């Protein structure tokens, strides 16, 4: 099972959370950024609808997959 980890990081004069190369909006405090990261992590666990998805890989090749709405990643927050 896939696991994704949100990281709480210093961002400018405040704090943010980061997933991969994507950084959230800035928050005034570490606690506020952590609370937002925890909320995002919880939302990742909500079931969705089954769907066919199409995506392009880094080599420009297109893929089509069937995504089960119940197939959700494990999530964690660090920092």
Write out pLDDT tens, residues 20-43. 999 999 999 999 999 999 999 999
68 vs 4, higher pLDDT: 4
* Token pair 């995002």 in the structure block, residue: 40
CA distance 34 to 12: 16
In this prediction, residues 4-24 reach a mean pLDDT of: 95
At 1, is the pLDDT very low, low, confident or very high (cuts 50, 70, 90)?
low
Model-wide pTM > 0.85:
no
- Write out the H or E segment, with its range, that includes residue 18: strand 14-19
Q: What is the pLDDT of residue 51?
A: 84
């Amino acid at each position: 099972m896939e696991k994704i980890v949100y990281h709480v990081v210093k961002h400018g004069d405040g704090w943010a959370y980061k997933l991969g190369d994507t950084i959230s909006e800035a928050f005034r405090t570490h606690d506020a950024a952590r609370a937002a990261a925890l909320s995002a992590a919880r939302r990742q666990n909500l079931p969705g609808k089954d769907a066919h998805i199409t995506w392009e890989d880094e080599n420009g090749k297109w893929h089509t997959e069937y995504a089960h709405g119940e197939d959700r990643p494990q999530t964690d927050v660090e920092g």
